[in-house]
Amino acid sequence: MFGLDAIDLARFQFAFTVSFHIVFPALSIGLASFLVALEALWLKTGRDVYHQLYRFWIRIFAVAFGLGVVTGVVMAYEFGTNWSGFAEKGGDITGVLLTYEVLTAFFMEAGFLGIMLFGEQRVSRSVHFFATFMVALGTLISATWILVSNSWMQTPSGYEVVNGRFLPADWLQVIFNPSFPYRFVHMVMAAYICVAFLVAGVGAYHLLRDRKNEGARTMLSLAMWMAIVAMPIQIVAGDLHGLNTLHHQPAKLAAMEGYWGPEAGKEGDGVPLTLFALPNMAEGKNDFAIEVPHVASLYLTHSWSGQIQGLSEFKDEIPDVPLVFWSFRVMVGLGMLMLLLSMVGALLRWRGRLYDQKLFHRVLMCLSPVGFVALVAGWVTTEAGRQPWVIYGLLKTRDAASYLGAGSLTISLLAFLVVYAVIFSIGIYYMLQLIRKEPTAPLPQGGPGEERHPKRPMSATSESIDG
């Protein structure tokens, strides 16, 4: 297929499925915590608008959670079919970590999800809030184990090699491997920021339709608070994560910076910040580079002339530099854009005009998916930057792949493209239909002990989305 060999096709297939999948867990993590906040505000203040918004967003959460589970199961099978070398050599550690995720997080989420979705009129408010909190906690625990596994593959520690297999020697070192704390904070903050701009965009959409809508005003306000708090934390976490990458994965860091090494006779010039370039892997240099001298030295080494290892020092063990270089810039560029929007929102709030600026609302509405684009770009940066290693420094990608032909991988890849296109289209269409609905719809009557029958389990509602 397009001249790609079996390993390239297997990599593309996994990249496609994981890029599709990661959107929904991020949406679930952010929305679950947002729902906890809404229900807590409702219980504390008694204001119906928080209850109405809870019921509005829980439907979207249910769809995202379901799609996240379905798309995640596919990846587990891919480990066995396309990456049997990885499963054989690294499964004694990563397989156990993923089992912990199922036992400690998935069962918790599944157990309380039913009460959260269908128990509002059947259990007390405190019990229902506890269920919502446990589901949100479950999403964070799930993220913990997934990121422990991924971080161990990026910065392996606490293992021993026995007959070519990587076995756990110290589980604490495996779990608290060098990059896990930075990767966990960076990912969770990314999920919160994604949801903040999604909620802000939806609030702006309804505000443009009805400027007095209390639900839309509350959504926009809460989302902009979330963004202005989370963005600075994310920038600090990203900087610390970058320093950790410099120490443990210098080739990835060099690819992110597009830095091939100092030119002859210019060792003392430091590392420039490359704003734009076309990395040329054949010649080992950048074409059409626009650079700011010394700036990368300042934020990477905190020194005017500090040096880092250039890509030329790693010979053939470097990732696809153009892919890593540009995906990193997409992530950072969109992050700066979201920071600017957060600051504009704070300024408008301070001037008492947060709900009156139509241009700002239109921008927020158009950019509501921007956090997810940045999230996928960041994921591409970290995963493509690890190449040619699957387990960094221990197992190369070519040794982790199964002995499959290009023909069978092409067929399975095409099947995934078709099935995922259908699932994604239906899921997004359904979410858009839910988003279009009135956020301050009348609350249901009744309470615990009164029997109610939702028409569709996924919508968790007694009314049609078409009504």
- pLDDT tens digits for 223-281? 999 999 999 999 999 999 999 999 999 999 999 999 998 876 565 678 899 999 999 99
Query: What distances in angstroms separate CA 66 from CA 34, 59, 149, 238, 459, one per listed residue?
Result: 18, 11, 22, 30, 11
- The two tokens of residue 99 are 């089992």
pTM, two decimal places: 0.91
Neighbour count for residue 467 (Cβ, 10 Å): 7
- Are 310 and 260 contacting, i.e. CB atoms less than 8 angstroms apart? yes
List, for residues 15-41, the tens digit of each pLDDT value. Answer: 888 888 899 999 999 999 999 999 999
- The two tokens of residue 389 are 């290693």
Q: Which residues of 154-172 are buried (b: 16+ CB within 10 A; e: fewer)?
A: bbbbbbeeeeeebebeeee
With vertex at residue 309, the alpha carbon angle to CA 307 and CA 310, rounded to the nearest 5 degrees, is 110
Q: What is the pLDDT of residue 467?
A: 39
Distance of CA 215 to the CA centre of its chain: 27
The phi and psi torsions of 453 (rounded to 5 degrees) equal -130, 100
Q: What is the pLDDT of residue 257?
A: 93
Closest alpha carbon to 15 in 447, 465, 458, 384: 384
Specify which residues 389 forms β-bridges with. Answer: 396
Closest alpha carbon to 264 in 318, 300, 312, 303: 312
Mean pLDDT, rounded, of the chain: 89
Averaged pLDDT for residues 74-79: 81
Averaged pLDDT for residues 329-348: 96
Closest alpha carbon to 86 in 152, 40, 23: 152
DSSP assigned state of 267: G
